[in-house]
Structure 1
Amino acid sequence: MSRRASRPAKRADPEPIRATSMWRVDQVFLARSGMRTEVISSLVNDHGGLRNLSVVAPTEDPREAVRHAARFVAGKGNVSSARNARVRWAREQAATEQDNLVRDLALEDEFLDAFEETLQEIRDRMR
């Protein structure tokens, strides 16, 4: 008598980024991954939806990593704003519990600048 392996229940795909909903970047988390930096951008929409976009930047430099991620997120479409987005290191990267609470204001500025520059480039191409 053979026994079939039980299959895990299918998970619903996250809500796509589409024209019916505008998204904004709420938080950005950085984590070192060898010679690269993983950047996870947490997005929220007008209807209270939440979505995470992850990208691995081909650099160890946090400044370049957040700029890379900002260009990636802005290029997705229907992400209208990154104003007030908080940038933090992921919990496992923090040296102390206090580090979990510390925002990196310089990296927040870098992320917002790159995000706005990319949105402007996209708007210019659409004209």
Structure 2
Amino acid sequence: MPRRRPPRTAPEPIRATSMWRVDQVFLARRGLRVEVTCSLVNDQGGLRNLSVTAPTEDPHAAVRHAARFIAGRGNVSSARQARVRWTREQATTEQDALIRDRALEDEFLDEFEDTLAAVRDQQR
């Protein structure tokens, strides 16, 4: 007697556009510039990283530059509770790698929200 196949279930549909949120932001000095890597997550548990090298060595200007870049992409919906840290190469001790820079977090979130509001205003 032939074995019956279990009924096929439809695979989880792939959404054409998935909304992402910024989870973590990592800073690394690259010569006279600061490289900013944003770790993004979506509601299905997806993860991706976007990197941008800011044309400055000032970390505050670098996170503002990265926030404008990320918010301008259009499919990143929020950056609330995003943690900003320096990468391990920049930390002098293991404890330094765990320290969050709250001033840079506020700077990133403010610029992100301002840029996101401007993008939404243009779309209206």
Q: Is the pair's TM-score, using the shorter chain for normalization, greater than 0.5?
A: yes
Q: Which residue of 1 aligns with 2:61?
A: 64
Distance 1:32 1:112 in 2: 21
SS at match of 2:95: helix
Superposed CA deviations along residues 2-33 of structure 1, whole A, max 9, x for unmatched, are xxxxxxxxxxxxxxxx8531100000000000
In the alignment, structure 1 residue 41 sits paired with structure 2 residue 71: no
- Aligned-partner residue type, residue 67 of structure 1: R
Q: Give structure 1 regions of 4+ aligned residues with deviation exceeding 2 angstroms.
A: none
2:99 matches 1:102: yes
How many residues are matched?
Answer: 110
- Write the deviation string for residues 22-73 of structure 1: whole angstroms up to 9, x where unpaired: 1000000000001100000000001000000000000000000000000000
**Structure-to-structure mapping, 1:1-127, within 5 angstroms:** 20-127=17-124
* Amino acid across the alignment from 2:79: A
**Uncovered stretches (5+) of structure 2, i.e. residues with no partner:** 1-14
Amino acid at match of 1:29: F
1:25/1:81 contact within 8 Å kept: yes
Amino acid of the residue matched to residue 82 of structure 2? A
Identity of aligned residues (%): 78
> Please, what is the CA RMSD of the aligned residues?
1.0
Task: Write the letter of the residue equivalent to 1:106.
Answer: A
Larger-gyration structure (1/2): 2
Kindly state the Cα deviation for residue 83 of structure 1 after the two structures are TM-superposed. 0.3
Q: 1:19 to 1:58 in 2, by over 3 A?
A: same
Contact 1:43 1:51 in 2 (8 A): yes
Task: Structure 1: state its 5+ residue gaps.
Answer: 1-17
Report if the CA contact (8 A) 1:19-1:78 is conserved: no
